[in-house]
Amino acid sequence: MNVALAATPPTGLARVRGLYQGLVDDRAAVIAAGAADAALSTSAATFLAAECRWLDGRSFDRWLSAWTDDGLYWVPLAHGHPAEDQALFLDDRRRLGERVWRMSDASAWALTPGADTVRLLGTVEAWPDGDDVLTSSALHITYCRGRRVLALAARQIHRLTRDEPGALRIRRKILLIPELTAGLPQLGWLL
């Protein structure tokens, strides 16, 4: 696999277009990929399980620290393109920080009292891509707040990279949620 994120131009409109195209390319590459790399899949699965655990355990700061500074998180509404369609959100690291901040803001009424969630991670497949790792996995989220329960299924695509000590970090994350086109209660809690 060679999607080559490094080709993104440094500034301006070209950079934005490049970032957006990179997301689309990752989605396409994962869907078209052949059998995954078994060893890489095992280590990626350990990391993605930890991500689920941090989020379910409301260790949102820990989760945020697992992102690279140039991280992008995209939740498209359908089979869209980030330069042409609305998304539920397309966040950079700063806006992810705001999402995390709201999780503990007592005046974020839709998130207070907070929800309990369980993320059930399906089989994780991983492929090397230059220095990065691309992964695909199915995710089932059960969300419970007050007396309301919501179940949500998604396919998640992660572009992981290794930092200096060699730990995996999240560089890109795409969450594909078919139910978004059907209409769902507010998803202000979704990370």
Partner 1 sequence: MNTEDALRPDAIAARGPDLSEELAHLVRPDLVHRRLYTDPSLFDIEMDRIFGGTWAYLGHESEIEKPGSFVRKRLGRRQVLLVRTEAGEVRGLLNRCTHRGTMLMAEDRGCQKRFTCPYHGWSFDLDGRIRNLPVADSYDRLFERPFDLGQLRVESFRGFVFATMAAEPLPLLAWLGPARRWLDEHIDRHPGGRLRVLPTAVIQEYRANWKMSWDNAADGIHATFAHRSYNLLGKEAETETVLARNPATTPMISMTLGHGHCVVDQRPGIPAGPWSTMRPLPTRADLEDALAARGEATAVNLDLATGNMVNLSLFPNLLFVGNQLMVVEPLGVDHTRVSMFLVVADGAPEEINLLRLRVDEDFVSFGTPDDLEMFERVQEGLKVVEEEWVDISRGDHAGDVVGEDGLVTGGISSEAPIRAYLEEWKRLMSKPIPTTVRRSRIEAAKFAGARPARAAGGVA
Q: Which is nearer to partner 1, 44 or 154 (CB)?
A: 154
Q: Which is nearer to partner 1, 59 or 181 (CB)?
A: 181
Residue 153 near partner 1 by CB under 8 A: no
The DSSP secondary-structure symbol of 113 reads S
Residues touching partner 1, count (CB under 8 A): 43
How far is the C-alpha of 53 from the C-alpha of 81, rounded, in Å?
30
> From the list 26, 51, 91, 125, which residue makes contact with partner 1 (rule: CB under 8 A)?
91
Applying the rule CB under 8 A, the residues between 103 and 132 that interact with partner 1 are 105, 107-111
Other Cβ atoms within 10 Å of 189 Cβ, number: 20
Bond into 113 cis (ω within 30):
yes
Q: Could you give the maximum distance between any two Cα atoms of the chain, in Å?
A: 48
Q: How far is the CB of 133 from partner 1 (least distance, A)?
A: 23
Q: How far is the CB of 80 from partner 1 (least distance, A)?
A: 6
> From the list 4, 15, 31, 46, which residue makes contact with partner 1 (rule: CB under 8 A)?
15
Q: Which two tokens stand for residue 58?
A: 């409301």
Residue 144 near partner 1 by CB under 8 A: no
Residue 185 near partner 1 by CB under 8 A: yes
Q: Which stretch binds partner 1 (CB under 8 A): 60-68, 98-106, 129-137, 159-167?
A: 98-106
Bridge partners, 127 (sequence order): 134
Q: Work out whether strand 148-162 and strand 132-145 pair parallel, antiparallel, or are unpaired.
A: antiparallel
Question: Which strand (E) or helix (H) includes residue 68?
Answer: strand 67-76
Residue 22 near partner 1 by CB under 8 A: no
Exposure class string for 144-163: b at 16+ Cβ within 10 A, else e: ebeeeebebebbbbbbbbee
Binding residues for partner 1 (CB under 8 A):
11-13, 15-16, 19, 72, 77-78, 80, 82-92, 94-95, 98-99, 101-102, 105, 107-111, 180-189
